[in-house]
Homo-oligomer: A and B are copies of this chain.
Amino acid sequence: MNITYIEKLRNVIAIKGSNLVAGLDTDLLKIPRIFANFSNPVLEFNKCVITATKDIVAGYKINTAFYEAIGVKGAEALEKTVKFIPDDMIKICDAKRGDIGNTSEMYARAYFDNLSFDSITFSPYMGRDSIQPFLSRPGKLVYVLIRTSNSGSGDVQMLKLEGKERLYERIAADYRKWFQEEIGFVIGANHTEDIKNYTESADIPLLIPGIGAQGNELEALMRNIRNNLFLINSSRSIIYPAGKINNKGEFISKIAENTLKINTEINKFKVF
């Protein structure tokens, strides 16, 4: 019998003692020189990151943009990176897709059927039928963009509706009403009030980007998380260690050290 996404999530969080996901936003122009001579530098870099972190994190969030930016090599790196991640870990496709039914079906085929991601991030502007193909696959979950961490996130998300609620509040309520526990929310680490409200009111799985390089305070965030279904993503603070890297061993050890430090902090500040 297949387990649900939420069961898989609970299991891996408990086993690893971690609510952290490593964001594989691997930029070919930023990875250390030691990877330059491999036939697929991005793939080799990712394998090292996974080796360094697989016992410390709950899973991985892969941002498809970084792979699309390098074409065929990127598609290859993406496919082989996902395969390299142990099966019991959470694999999130951070693609922010959302399109008419037959196109969303293609995205579901790409990321759920072929690449075996467990979940995908989804942009809600096109409405109900644009999310359905993702939800018709058992054992998967869709993280709907609610409140993002970027500087312009308020431009649209904070618009006030007729009944005085904000657009993002309405989107959260509507999608939750339509799809119940098949969906989770993306809420940026800087929106601590929202994180508190949503984790207090129901067991909604949250995906929380925006700590580290995006610069929000971990302690303030942790004080406001009230259930244990959250995942915090960290990309740049994990995968780009400071200083010169001389070899793979050194790289793996620095990455592991960074990751352990962030994970320890998260666990230290947990309030439940």
In the complex where A63-B103, A75-B71, A114-B69 touch, is A159 in contact with B161 (Cβ < 8 A)?
yes
Of A1-9, A143-151, A192-200, the one contacting chain B is: A143-151
Contact B100 A149 (CB under 8 A): yes
- Beta-carbon contacts of A120-141 to B below 8 Å, as 1s and 0s? 0001111111100000000000
Contact B157 A101 (CB under 8 A): no
**How far, in angstroms, from A75 to B126 measured CA to CA in the complex?**
25
- Beta-carbon contacts of A142-168 to B below 8 Å, as 1s and 0s? 000100111111111101111010010
**How far, in angstroms, from A109 to B71 measured CA to CA in the complex?**
10
Query: Distance in Å from the Cβ of A102 to the closest Cβ of chain B?
Result: 8
Copies assembled: 2
**How far, in angstroms, from A111 to B103 measured CA to CA in the complex?**
18
A residues adjacent to B (C-beta < 8 A):
25, 27, 63-66, 68-72, 74-76, 79, 96-104, 106-107, 109-111, 114-115, 123-130, 145, 148-157, 159-162, 164, 167, 170-171, 174, 214
Contact B65 A72 (CB under 8 A): no
**How far, in angstroms, from A155 to B127 measured CA to CA in the complex?**
5
Q: Enumerate chain B residues within 8 angstroms of A96, measured Cβ to Cβ.
A: 97-99, 123, 126
Q: Enumerate chain B residues within 8 angstroms of A74, measured Cβ to Cβ.
A: 75
Cβ contacts A to B, 24 pairs, < 8 Å: A63-B103, A65-B110, A68-B107, A69-B107, A71-B115, A72-B72, A75-B75, A96-B97, A96-B123, A96-B126, A100-B148, A100-B214, A123-B123, A124-B125, A126-B150, A127-B148, A127-B150, A127-B155, A127-B157, A128-B152, A129-B152, A159-B161, A161-B161, A161-B162
Looking at A99, A154, A159, A160, which has the most chain B CB atoms within 10 Å of its CB? A99
Contact A156 B171 (CB under 8 A): yes
Contact A153 B167 (CB under 8 A): no
Contact A106 B155 (CB under 8 A): no
In the complex where A101-B150, A159-B167 touch, is A125 in contact with B145 (Cβ < 8 A)?
yes
